[in-house]
Each structure stands twice: as structure tokens, then as C-alpha cells.
Amino acid sequence: MSVRILALVGSLRAGSHNRQLAEAAVKFAPEGAEVHLFEGLAEIPFYNEDIDVEGSVPAAAAKLREAAQGAQAFLLFSPEYNGTIPAVLKNAIDWLSRPFGAGAFTGKPVAVVGTAFGQYGGVWAQDEARKAVGIAGGKVIEDIKLAIPGSVTRFAETHPADDAEVAAQLTEVVARLHGHADETLAA
């Protein structure tokens, strides 16, 4: 059986380096793992219990939940906006945290990686994303980390998939997350 890893990208920008990282993760997925890049985070309304009612959940949120329910693991890509997690990624985490105690993340392995322009590569945002998804029930794999600094210059003329160092690191991230998903499924 193949392990399905759902990738969520916290940047909506067309030329997003985090999106490019996610595309590279799809490309470098090891045999037995399928990384699926979720499209449509921009269409999901901000989480509000008043609209999270069975039978009338907004279509975009229902699509996210359906994709997440079919995943055995999650790989989140987070840039850093003003020192923290982007709203679009936090919103996805909020939608996937419900219903309380039985959200789509519950018990599933999650890794958070990313790139940012700053000298630390977005570690504050990635730490915030790990915290939020852990509270949402995800099994955060704390030792799987990849924070790539200087994204604007490093990837100015090179796609992350064509950067040998990044390709090797990202391949390792996906392989290790795949291993954790296999262990979770076997338990």
C-alpha cells in the first residue's frame, strides 16, 4: 500500500518558493509514498463554528477535510510572515482540527519545513505551525526539520528541485516522514 502524504503550502503567491519546495517534494517522493499538493487554501473561509455545521460546511473546507481524511501523513510548508505562521496555513489547521478530538490530523505524523528570506529560514513560523498542529491532534515529528534561509537570493534563478543540497535534504525529509507513516499504519 502506498502512503499518501498531503502537502499544505502557507503561501499563495504564484512564485512562492515554499510552493516550489512542495513541488520538489512531490518529485522526490520515495517509492511507496505519494505526496499530493493540496490546491485551494485561498478559497477556504476563515474558520467559524457558525459555518462549520454538518451538512452545510463550505465546499472548499469540505474539500480540504476530504483530502486530509485520505492522507496518512502531512507535510506543511511554511514561510514566515512578520515572525509567525501565515494566516492561510493557520486557517487550514483550524479547519482540520475539527470536530474537536477527531480532526483529520489526529494521530497522523506531521512534518513542517519551509524557506524564508530571513537568515533563519522561517524557523519561528515553522515552530508555531508545529505547535498549532500538535494541539490539533497531529503527531508532530519534531526531529524532521528543514529551514532554508535566504530564499529570495538562493532561489532567484534556481528552482529548489534543481539545488542539489536542497533536493537531498527534502528527499530525506519525505523519506523519514514516509517511515513514520509506515510505523503509524503498522501499529
Domains of the chain, with CATH numbers? 3-186 (3.40.50.360)
pLDDT tens-digit map of 13-43: 989 999 999 999 999 999 999 999 999 999 9
pLDDT tens-digit map of 64-110: 999 999 999 999 999 999 999 999 999 999 999 998 888 999 999 99
pLDDT band at 153 (very low <50, low <70, confident <90, very high): very high
pLDDT at 1 over 80: no
Q: Residue 158: how many CB atoms within 10 A of its CB?
A: 12
Instruction: Supply 56's cell numbers.
Output: 452545510
Residue 141 has phi, psi (to 5 degrees) of -90, 95
pLDDT band at 187 (very low <50, low <70, confident <90, very high): confident
How much of the chain, in percent, has pLDDT values that exceed 90? 93
Q: Which residues of 64-87 are buried (b: 16+ CB within 10 A; e: fewer)?
A: bbebbeebbbbbbbbbbbeeebbe
CA distance 7 to 25: 9
